[in-house]
Amino acid sequence: MKNVIELKHPLIEHKLSILRDKNTSTKEFRELIKEISMILCYEALNDAKLDPVTIETPIKKMKTHRMNEDQYAFIPILRAGLGMLDGVISVVPTAKVGHIGMYRDEKTFEPVNYFFKVPEGIEKREVILLDPMLATGGSAEDAIELLKSKGVGKIKFLCIIAAPEGLKRVTEKYPDVKIYTSCIDEKLNNNKYIVPGLGDAGDRIFGTK
């Protein structure tokens, strides 16, 4: 899985330890999701192309480089992916935003699509998909397929934690999609939840349980 980038950093491990704790409040959980998402976004944009520009500092004119933020689109997978949006938008404020709505069928454990809205010209942009959990990989797979059907050529996937099973499924089908995660966990349990995981990210972000 050469296209899987697991961030190894003491700061991330520290934040994850609080994020995973069942006693962490909704407020703190949201803040940590945002902070880790920012770090993931920095890493995902490591290969960003820069255009030459000339600016004037308070001292003198100089040649430097800037990124064309308009070439990017962030697309959270609803609803949990919304928790990551503030973090990545703070890194690239003028990026466009789309939404993909999915929920997991409790019997088949497969995703069901119910909403798809992306910016115009999506096929010309680099798309960064957002979902805190990459468990079975079903939602990620379906989201990538939807985007590819719209002509998107470059896709990256950002998640807070990932299961080996989901990583294997997505990377085998879409070897061109880079996946950035702050931690690869042990496995999925019989209910297809990530172990040790952090519980249901959507419920913990929105305080619905």
Name 31's Cβ contacts closer than 8 Å, sequence gap at least 6: none
Residue 66 annotated as catalytic:
no
Q: Choosing from 24, 86, 104, 142, which is the catalytic residue? A: 104
Residue 185 annotated as catalytic:
no
Q: Report the C-alpha dihedral over residues 134, 139, 145, 147, rounded to 10 degrees.
A: -90
Q: Choosing from 64, 108, 176, 208, which is the catalytic residue? A: 108
Q: Say how far apart CA 170 and CA 121 lie, in whole Å.
A: 25
Residue 125 annotated as catalytic:
no
CB under 8 A, 24+ apart: contacts of 26-30: 26/204, 26/205, 26/206, 26/207, 29/204, 29/205, 30/83, 30/205
Q: Choosing from 70, 86, 142, 203, which is the catalytic residue? A: 203
Task: Indicate the length of the chain as a whole number.
Answer: 209
Q: Choosing from 70, 86, 142, 200, which is the catalytic residue? A: 200
Neighbours of 18 (CB within 10 A): 13
What interhelical angle do 82-91 and 26-44 show, nearest 10? 50
Supply the residues annotated as catalytic: 104, 108, 200, 203
